[in-house]
């Protein structure tokens, strides 16, 4: 079994530390900064052997160089963004496979937030690391991509098994949910989820990871019927 640890950093980022006890390998996913990941691994007696990046933004790759200097780890990331991530050792794209011990992750190309954004889907472990493409009750801003690309990405995620655990990179759930309720005020599942989210945040608790099943029921971007509807919802959220 893989163990995944959530590391809160900066204002609202989450770095994910994934450990395979059988092999002793530990992967850091999207390290915004180095020290919290190094400290979390050291506290558990884990050795960081890899970094997996989903996209080039600084709050996802900022810790790459220092972690590599401290551990000698290999850094994997999107080939399409190699020109923007100088620390990459392994370049990957759609359908490439990466491993932690005997656990395999298939790379999914999900451009929209950035032009070369990828996700890492560990099907046998029912896990996916989605970076800034999919959020709890939300999706990433369309900085470099299009609404059509985001609609396609949402469809690909929605097609995964409901039990798939979704590891996203920010604590945006409360603001996403409030906006979602303004779009789907009669969605009972959404209202119930927001009550739980509000309670969790009132106690300073994290609201992620989430699951594909939960997002299918409550994520208005995943639930958009077509590209135009997603585009309108994204534009309204940006303006909110």
**What is the set of active-site residues?**
55, 57, 59-60, 113, 132, 170
Asked if 11 and 175 touch (Cβ cutoff 8 Å), the reply is no
Evaluate the omega torsion of the peptide bond into residue 209 and state whether it is cis, within 30 degrees of 0. yes
**Helix residue ranges per DSSP H, 99-158:** 147-158
Distance from C-alpha of 49 to C-alpha of 184, rounded to nearest angstrom: 44
Q: Which residue has the tokens 């850091």?
A: 28
Give the Cβ contact number of residue 24 at 10 Å.
Answer: 12
Q: What SS3 class is residue 172?
A: coil
Tokens of 139: 């999706």
**Helix residue ranges per DSSP H, the chain:** 35-44, 58-61, 64-71, 147-158, 173-183, 188-202, 212-218, 227-239
- Any idea what the Cα angle at residue 61 is, between residues 131 and 83, rounded to 5°? 100
Give the Cβ contact number of residue 114 at 10 Å.
Answer: 26
Buried b (16+ CB within 10 A) or exposed e, 77-112: bbbbbeebbebbeeebeeebebebbebebbbbbbbb
């Amino acid at each position: 079994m893989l163990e995944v640890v959530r590391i809160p950093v900066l204002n609202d980022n989450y770095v994910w530390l994934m450990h395979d006890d059988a092999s002793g390998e530990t992967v850091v996913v999207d390290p915004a900064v180095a020290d919290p990941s190094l400290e979390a691994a050291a506290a558990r007696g884990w050795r960081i052997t890899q970094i997996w990046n989903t996209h080039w933004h600084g709050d996802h790759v900022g810790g790459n160089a220092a972690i590599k200097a401290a551990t000698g780890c290999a850094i994997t990331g999107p080939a399409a963004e190699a020109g923007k991530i100088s620390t990459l050792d392994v370049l990957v794209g759609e359908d490439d496979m990466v491993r932690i011990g005997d656990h395999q992750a298939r790379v999914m190309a999900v451009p929209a937030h950035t032009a070369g954004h990828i996700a890492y889907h560990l099907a046998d472990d029912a896990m996916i690391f989605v970076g800034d493409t999919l959020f709890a009750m939300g999706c990433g801003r369309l900085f470099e991509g299009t609404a059509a690309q985001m609609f396609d990405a949402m469809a690909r995620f929605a097609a995964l098994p409901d039990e798939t655990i979704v590891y996203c990179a920010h604590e945006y759930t409360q603001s996403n949910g409030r906006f979602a309720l303004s779009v789907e005020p009669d969605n009972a599942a959404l209202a119930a989820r927001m009550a739980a989210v509000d309670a969790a945040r009132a106690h300073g608790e994290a609201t992620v990871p989430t699951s594909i099943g939960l997002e299918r029921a409550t994520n208005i971007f995943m639930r958009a019927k077509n590209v135009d509807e997603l585009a309108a919802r994204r534009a309204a959220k940006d303006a909110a």
